Chain A
Amino acid sequence: MERIFIEKTESTPLVDFDFEKGVFLLKGESYPENVSSFYGEIFEKLEVFVRESEDRDISVEIELIYFNSSSVKAIMNFLDMMEELANNGNKVTINWLYEADDETIMEFGEEFSEDLESVEFHLKEI
């Protein structure tokens, strides 16, 4: 599958999904005007990848410094897909990065991780 690479803007994150390597990166801020038009197409491709992958190492790095409430749903959908990948026999590692003084982002990481069982989830201070 072709790599997805989208440069970050003021209100949308850098998205770098390298399907061949199994490395996914989300970095920046997320408060787009329309969450589904930004994430919709990206997630459609990801769904195909989830269906087709087994026995792979998947490494995910999420470094979001701010996201609005509508983006939370999108992030959760993304994490659900990672959980599904892990349940399908892939080894999925997620690093959730947060700035040292940023309790909000750290707490979000904690809350998201409560719903993940098969994924290896690390909270990391940067």
Chain B
Amino acid sequence: MEIDDLCKLKRLSSDNGVIFFYQGYFSQKILLGLGDALKAKMTRDDVESTKSKKLFSIFVEQVQNIIRYSTDKIEVDRDLQKEMSSGIMLVGKEEERFFTVCGNIIETKDVARISENLEEIRNLEKDELKKLYKEKIRSESDEHSKGAGIGFIEIARKSSAPFDYGFKDGDDCESFFFLKAYV
């Protein structure tokens, strides 16, 4: 990448209200670091505490979704079964609302299932989301489960408007999944 390209990238981010973005391999430590950056920005901008907590909560669910479900993973420690997952996480502000976008590679065969699940969630009212949340938590098989689907409901519950999502650049094997939430 040339310096000019980097400048373009920087300008594009600034013009679109991006506060920060990270693309690459994620770990819990990176989540904590980015989380600190986000909290610091919220404090500096005097964002109301309720709003700031909702934003942080959505941010955590999105990053942990990348960590768990991105199919692009590298092994960092075989003995500890430690892996890092690749994805992109972006936080920004447009007019008076914040937005957060997460993206990662998934298997194309999962697109239909995920999309059906998200379409259901994004159209639910607050009370229906609460009900579904409880059902999912109660029905989840055991504590070894990674929490499939509940994270998306959590995101919807904390959002101020329905989230957007999509699947891009797909081929037979892999697709790029993204989800944009608003607070």
Contact = CB atoms under 8 A, between A and B. Distances in A.
Interface residues of B, number: 29
Which bracket fits the contact residues of A? 20 to 34
A104 B53 contact: yes
A77 B141 CA distance: 12
B49 A69 contact: no
If over half of B's interface residues share one DSSP class (helix, strand or loop), that class is named, otherwise mixed; here it is: helix
B50 A70 contact: no
Contact of A33 (B28, B150, B153, B158): B28
Chain A at the B interface: mostly helix, strand, loop or mixed?
helix
Interface in A1-49: 10-11, 31-33, 35-36, 39-40, 43
Nearest to A101: B49
Contacts of B32: 10-11
A64 interface: no
Interface in B65-92: 67
Interface stretch (B17-25, B55-63, B104-112): B55-63
Contact of B154 (A10, A35, A69): A69
Given A40-B143, A73-B137, A73-B143, A68 B60 contact: yes
B8 interface: no
B150 A72 contact: yes
B134 interface: yes
A66 interface: yes
Contacts of A70: 64, 146-147, 150-151
Given A101-B49, A101-B50, A111-B130, A69 B143 contact: no
A113 to B, nearest CB: 13
A90 B143 CA distance: 26
Interface of A: 10-11, 31-33, 35-36, 39-40, 43, 66, 68-70, 72-74, 76-77, 101-104, 111
